Homo-oligomer: A and B are copies of this chain.
Amino acid sequence: MTQWKKSIYTGHVSDGVAEVADGRYPLVENRVQAEIMCHVRAMNRPVSRSEITEVLGVSRSKISLEVGRLIGAGLLAGDGLAKSEGGRRSSLLRIPRSAGLIAAVDLGATSTDVALSTLGGELLIHRGEPGDVKDGPQRVLGRVKELLSELLAEQGADARDVVAIGVGVPGPVEHASGVLRSPPIMPGWDGFPIRAAFADGYEAPVFVDNDVNVMALGEHRDGVGKGEDNVLFVKIGTGIGGGIIADGHLQRGSQGCAGDIGHICADPEGPVCSCGNRGCLEAMAAAPAIAAKAERCAKEGLSPILQGVFEERGVLTARDVGEAASRGDYHALQIIKESGRLVGQVLATLVSTLNPSIIVVGGGVANIGHSLLAEIRGAVYRRSLPLATRNLPIVPSELDQIAGVTGASVLAAEGVLQTS
């Protein structure tokens, strides 16, 4: 299964292209090969040489040459014959499972998800468990590597079969180095070399990005945003963040913190946020704010349902508020609506700025009830110009729990298939 790697490596060195320590990155030799692989991967079905020739706008002979090399390297394989179009029936191409595996890691503030997928994009196995990024990089990544070893063993594979690793983390990532920079909720991770942490078990290159960017990638390539060029993904959970796909590409901005919308001012008179400013969206509308409002309601005896849960457990979560609202609790519903209205007001500004064709709302809080999404929609439609909203669906995440690992595998696969 790993036979081809060596020949690819040699090819690179002789071309003077490979300048990455592990010597296997990128997998492809040139830009045309990269584009062929990315096209076959994106189509998610067997593809003919003629289709590739047409889409890439490169000559048929060049495509034949490079496809031949990719087959030789084990990155492509034949998959039956195309429908006849009058002439000789051409064979179809796909990315075989033996081309390699992608390891995907999605670290949330309080959860760890890992998955394996094929280079071709098929999700093979996924496992999620509670986790706490506050435990620090050594412990959290140690557990990640244990989980990955288990999944690999279950698939009858090992670390040498992994051709790329994708990691989503809940903090701002400097794109070029893949290192976290002053992550507010991840003490101990500032500047930690995540890539290097995998070097003792894996030869594969590691691609790191912000968790919300990674989820946006997942929804864009494989979820409800598929086929849309301008997707705004919003995660509402412990924090609030945005992932921006513009003109088909994930936008990271100059320091990698594009989409960091949690600290946009939602109300200049609002409460003081951990960042020092007043009325940040996150401080007013994310899960902790929802829970805090619910606890106030419970203590003041305004909501018998919330009061009951609070007296029983001594703490309330955003999920409790969602359940109370679904049982008809007026105050719980108002708390959810207020979050929706605040998020919607900020999204209206983003709609004017970015003119997306779809807004996808994900994260734990997104699931606490229809009224949240209804309120977000109302605020966006009320406050944006008609041209920008006349065809603007605002929908829940389709991938939900697997948005992160799906996006992390896209990040890794597309990364390892780039030539630069």
Contacts and interface: CB of A to CB of B under 8 A. Distances in A.
B242 A353 contact: yes
A179 B35 CA distance: 33
B258 A355 contact: yes
This chain's copy number in the assembly: 2
A141 interface: no
A275 B355 CA distance: 17
A255 interface: yes
Interface string A336-367: 00000000011011101111110000000000
A257 B385 contact: yes
Nearest to A262: B352
A300 to B, nearest CB: 27
A263 B355 CA distance: 13
B255 A355 contact: yes
A82 B215 CA distance: 48
Interface stretch (A151-159, A194-202, A244-252): A244-252
A233 to B, nearest CB: 13
A277 interface: yes
Using C-beta atoms within 8 Å of the partner chain, give the interface range for chain A.
35 or more
Contact of A265 (B31, B258, B383): B383
B348 A350 contact: no
Contacts of A357: 253-254
Nearest to A386: B182
Nearest to A268: B345
Contact of A246 (B242, B251, B419, B420): B251
A387 B181 contact: yes
A290 B154 CA distance: 69
A254 B353 contact: no
B229 A345 contact: no
A229 B254 contact: yes
B257 A383 contact: no
Contacts of A350: 353
Contacts of A277: 382-383
A257 B230 CA distance: 12
A256 interface: yes
Interface string A17-50: 0000000000000110000000000000000000
Interface string A229-243: 110000000000010
Interface string A356-392: 1100000000000000000000000011111110010
Contacts of A124: none
A172 interface: yes
A133 interface: no
A331 B106 CA distance: 55
Given A57-B420, A254-B357, A352 B387 contact: no
Given A181-B387, A259-B353, A353-B354, 16 more contacts: A31-B57, A57-B419, A172-B387, A182-B387, A228-B254, A246-B251, A255-B388, A257-B352, A257-B387, A259-B355, A260-B352, A260-B385, A261-B353, A264-B349, A264-B353, A353-B353
5 contacts: A57-B419, A172-B387, A247-B251, A260-B353, A260-B385
